[in-house]
Structure 1
Amino acid sequence: MIASGPTPVAPFSHAVEADGWVMLTGQMPTWPGEPERALPEGIVAQTQRVMDNLELILKGIGMSLADVLQCRCYLTEFERDYGAFNETYSARFSEHRRPARTTIGVTALAVGALVEIDMVAKRP
């Protein structure tokens, strides 16, 4: 668990590492230190918050987005939000070094979120 990370919404660790491989649990657009605070409104704000939370966790284990190899992204309003999600998400990565990615439309996410993202990273 990363002290500066968001309060988990279920029983999990922020990240688990084995042999240099790091699996980051899917993060929600919640506010670290303020678990009762309302979620940001809209897909852009929620995607930014999720990415901020993932970066907090990576930083807490001495890594960064440059170490991420794969992301799985979940959207509750896939057709409506896919374009805006892609713009917001892609701004966090170098266009010459983007991780592999799968994006899936789902019927619902915890805490009523519009987006959740998990990651797989590897220590250099």
Structure 2
Amino acid sequence: MSAPIYHMVASGPRPVAPFSHAVEVDGWVFVTGQMPTNPEAPDAPLPAGIQAQTRRVIDNLKVVLGGIGLGLEHVTMARIYLTEFERDYDALNALWPGFFEPGKLPARTTIGVTALAVGALVEIDLVAKRPA
């Protein structure tokens, strides 16, 4: 196993805790869960509703991935955390396929949680694989 590479993307969202945006080992990239904050205005109010917050989270994940030369097409696994699982699960599922190429959805786990940082409704972390 090669030494881990710790990535902080200059244009990425401001971390809400002490972490790297992503850590890479042997071509596998583990992207820290992103919040629906605006990287250009990190103290601005969060978008309203699960769909707007999910879009912002995906945008933030794309910034992190793009900052290390990857995109959503490299994602192999996603974990999604919802504070209002029963209410928001169907709305999230309606959006999810639109972020990926048809027939190329990553593996996924969705988890209901009691709370998330910054009062978010959704957080998503990813595992991606760098092409050989």
TM-score, with structure 2 as normaliser: 0.92
State the Cα distance separating 1:88 from its structure 2 match: 1.6
Query: For the residues of structure 2 that align with 1:29 and 1:90, how far apart are their CA atoms?
Result: 19
Give the counterpart of 2:123 among 113, 116, 119. 116
SS in 2 for 1:62: coil
Would you say the 8 A contact 1:29–1:47 is kept in 2? yes
Unaligned runs of at least 5 residues, structure 1:
none
Aligned to 2:65: 58
Aligned to 2:96: 89
Would you say the 8 A contact 1:70–1:100 is kept in 2? yes
SS in 2 for 1:91: helix
Query: For the residues of structure 2 that align with 1:90 and 1:107, how far apart are their CA atoms?
Result: 26
Please give the per-residue CA displacement for 1:36-85, whole angstroms capped at 9, x wherever unaligned.
10000000000000000000011000001010000000000000000111
2:97 maps to a residue whose letter is S
Query: For the residues of structure 2 that align with 1:121 and 1:41, how far apart are their CA atoms?
Result: 28
Aligned to 2:5: none
How many residues matched? 124
Aligned to 1:36: 43
SS in 2 for 1:57: helix
Counterpart check, 1:4 vs 2:35: no
2:107 maps to a residue whose letter is A
> Considering only aligned residues, what root-mean-square deviation do their CA atoms show, in Å?
0.6
Aligned to 2:106: 99
Residue identity over aligned pairs, in percent, reads: 67
State the Cα distance separating 1:89 from its structure 2 match: 2.0
Instruction: Return structure 1 stretches of 4+ with deviation > 2 angstroms.
Output: none
